[in-house]
Structure 1
Amino acid sequence: MGVMQLGNHLAPSFEDPIAMLLACHDKIRRFCAELSLLPSYVAEHGCDEQAHASAKRIRQYFNQAAPLHHLDEEVDLFPAYLPMAHPQDAALIRQLCAAHTDMEQAWQRLNTQLHNLSDSLSAADIQLFCQLYQQHMALEEPLFTRIQAGLQADVLLGLGHNMANRRK
């Protein structure tokens, strides 16, 4: 099986920040799937041009877009919702923010391995990283639905504006 290549998918606009965050989750799932294929691809084909291109795409996403996604949540989305959040959601938000640190630590181990791509790419590190993200998104997505229902449209537009500015 070859390494996956991500196509250009239409993304929602920043006018709908929740949809934008969910679209990021879809990209994360696709990059995790691509990442999961990489060790077997490298074992079969070596560290060829396609493997290096895949590692570069994955590294670019998780070094640039993923940290911005976490900032969108920690700096804008969660603080906007916390004043109206049920205590269970407030606790969940604290848990999700702490998980960002765990995911970042797991990513840094993989980032180094992908930068120095070789056949010593750790399938266990990849599995842990992808599992952390899957568990995280499974908790976060229902929360996003509650946040979207709870926040006023103008607040959501402001969040989207902040997200767009963060990427300039």
Structure 2
Amino acid sequence: MTKAKSNNAGADFKALDACHQQIAEHLARLDALVEHLVSEGVDAHAQGEARAIEAFFSETSQRHHLDEESKVFPPLLSSSDEALVATVRMLQQDHGWIEEDWLALAPQLRAIAAGYSWYDPDELRHGIGVFLELCREHIQLEESIIYPQAKAVVAKLERRRALLPPLKFKAGAPSSS
């Protein structure tokens, strides 16, 4: 059972890391879309990009944050390291701000995907700039501090589990002999 737990924890972090890569790619696409809209307006390329970017951030990225909130952050919040706990709390707050920023951007991207050009280019550029900066800083902090700390906590817990003798049951009562 310890092996299965270990492999699942490792797979969880690989999936989280892979999602960060996908987020970075979609952030770059979002940045490029703004420039494309300024130079070319709403054309077929802009519509396709807006559709793909909106779907990714409305679905995959949000699930990623839920995974972090349920799997990565909880063990770190019980740490005695006050700076680490403060960092996790800040990242939780970031998730709220990222969601709030996204809720302002998503309708504009859906409109662009549908071929409308009613958006304010300056407002869109500003909103996307704020979103890009927040997301990039957030990922950098998670990858440089939080993920390594979370991986260390998981490894420590797995080592403890591996040292415990398996429980044997006799007449309905657990024992370690």
After TM superposition, the score normalised by the length of structure 1 is 0.77
What is the 5 A alignment of 1:44-59? 44-59=39-54
The alpha carbon displacement at 1:141 in A equals 0.8
Check the 8 A contact 1:106/1:125 in 2, yes or no: yes
Q: Distance in 1 between matches of 2:88 and 2:38?
A: 40
Q: Which has the higher contact order (CA 8 A, sep 6+)?
A: 1
Check the 8 A contact 2:30/2:128 in 1, yes or no: yes
CA RMSD of the aligned region, Å? 2.1
The alpha carbon displacement at 1:39 in A equals 2.1
1:73-126 deviation per Cα after TM superposition (whole angstroms, max 9, x unaligned): 112221133334522111111110011011111111110111112263411111
Q: Distance in 2 between matches of 1:154 and 1:62?
A: 33
Of residues 136, 142, 164, the one that matches 1:134 is: 136
The alpha carbon displacement at 1:153 in A equals 8.2
Alignment partner of 1:61: what SS?
Answer: helix
Distance 1:151 1:38, change over 3 A: same
Which letter does structure 2 place at the counterpart of 1:136? H
Q: Distance in 1 between matches of 2:102 and 2:76?
A: 28
Give 5+ residue unaligned stretches, structure 2.
Answer: 1-7, 159-177
Which letter does structure 1 place at the counterpart of 2:29? E
Runs of 4+ in 1 over 3 A off after TM superposition: 152-155
User: 1:111 maps to what in 2?
Assistant: 106
1:12-36 deviation per Cα after TM superposition (whole angstroms, max 9, x unaligned): x985211211111111111111101
Q: Distance in 1 between matches of 2:38 and 2:86?
A: 43
After TM superposition, the score normalised by the length of structure 2 is 0.73
Percent identity, aligned pairs only, is: 29
User: 2:166 maps to what in 1?
Assistant: none
Of residues 149, 152, 155, the one that matches 2:152 is: 149
Equivalent pairs, count: 143
Q: Distance in 1 between matches of 2:65 and 2:32?
A: 25
Distance 1:127 1:46, change over 3 A: same
Q: Distance in 2 between matches of 1:15 and 1:145?
A: 12
Q: Distance in 2 between matches of 1:85 and 1:129?
A: 32
Which letter does structure 2 place at the counterpart of 1:120? D
